[in-house]
């Protein structure tokens, strides 16, 4: 392999990011990923294991892991932490009853050493639902303002309609890129 090829491969590798999409079951993780990928979002079945999708966006190759969020599966989340650049935490903004559980699970993740370098994007999903809590209320319930260990951002969105998905993902990529990708 010539030097130029090696350099090109190294640069390609730098543009390859690993995103981990987590949240409680039914938050809308799989729908969000499908919508972002331009797929039909009707009839999404619960994720029993994980989905991995490789997407191209803004010249980045995104390896996105969508792991099932049922309580029986949460202990397996740790198998997916390694080399994660960005953690996307998806919240069902209509699910007031499980908001404390949601906050608890997120706090646990942020203590994980192997996620220490990851940027956190919180999607306050299902904003299209009547009665959905606004992103500001989710921010408070999840005590995001107390996070000092990670760069974070919260974005209200609807995976169903696609509203506000891109601004969230773009913020995430910008933040990661400023850390891991040298300028061209
Ligand atoms: P998960 O992968 O986090 O477990 P899914 O969640 O993507 O499987 O979605 C769970 C349910 O929430 C699905 O409904 C899905 O259509 C719905 N959903 C996901 N995102 C949104 C959203 O932005 N708005 C609304 N209104 N619903 C959403 P079903 O009925 O198929 O179980
Ligand atoms: Mg799913």
**CATH number of the domain to which 48 belongs:** 3.40.50.300
Is residue 10 assigned to a domain?
Answer: no
Report if residue 72 sits inside a domain: yes
Specify if 158 maps to a domain: yes
How remote is the CA of residue 66 from the centroid of ligand 2, in Å? 7
Range of the domain at 97: 17-180
Residue 3 lies in a domain: no
Q: Give the integer Cα–Cα distance in Å for 172 and 60.
A: 12
- CB-based pocket (< 6 A), ligand 1: 23, 25-31, 44, 46-47, 69, 90, 125-126, 128-129, 158-160
In a domain, 11, yes or no: no
Is residue 145 a part of any domain in this protein?
yes
Q: Is the dihedral of CA 70, 75, 79, 80 positive or negative?
A: positive
CA distance 138 to 126: 12
Give nearest CA residue, ligand 1 atom 24: 126
Distance CA 50, CA 79 (A): 11
Judging by beta carbons within 10 Å of its beta carbon (0-12, 13-18, 19+), is residue 126 exposed, middle or buried?
A: buried
Residue 4 lies in a domain: no
Pairing of strands 86-92, 60-67: unpaired
Classify residue 12: in a domain, yes or no: no
pTM: 0.92
In the prediction, which pLDDT does 184 show? 56
pLDDT in tens, 106-137: 999 999 999 999 999 999 999 999 999 999 99
Give pLDDT tens digits for 28-61.
Answer: 999 999 999 999 998 888 888 888 999 999 999 9
Total domains, the chain: 1
């Amino acid at each position: 392999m010539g030097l130029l090829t090696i350099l090109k491969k190294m640069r390609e590798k730098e543009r390859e990011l690993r995103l981990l999409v987590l949240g409680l079951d039914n938050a809308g993780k799989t729908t969000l990923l499908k919508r972002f990928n331009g797929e039909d979002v009707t009839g999404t079945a619960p994720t029993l294991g994980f989905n991995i999708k490789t997407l191209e966006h803004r010249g980045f190759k995104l390896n996105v892991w969508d792991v099932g969020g049922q309580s029986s599966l949460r202990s397996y989340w740790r198998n997916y932490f390694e080399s994660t650049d960005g953690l996307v935490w998806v919240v069902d903004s209509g699910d007031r009853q499980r908001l404390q559980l949601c906050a608890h699970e997120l706090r646990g993740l942020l203590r994980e050493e192997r996620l220490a370098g990851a940027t956190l994007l919180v999607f306050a999903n299902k904003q299209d639902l009547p009665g959905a809590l606004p992103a500001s209320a989710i921010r408070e319930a999840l005590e995001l303002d107390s996070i000092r260990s990670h760069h974070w951002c919260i974005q209200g969105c609807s995976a169903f309609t696609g509203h506000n998905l891109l601004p969230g993902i773009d913020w995430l990529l910008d933040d990661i890129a400023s850390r891991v990708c040298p300028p061209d």
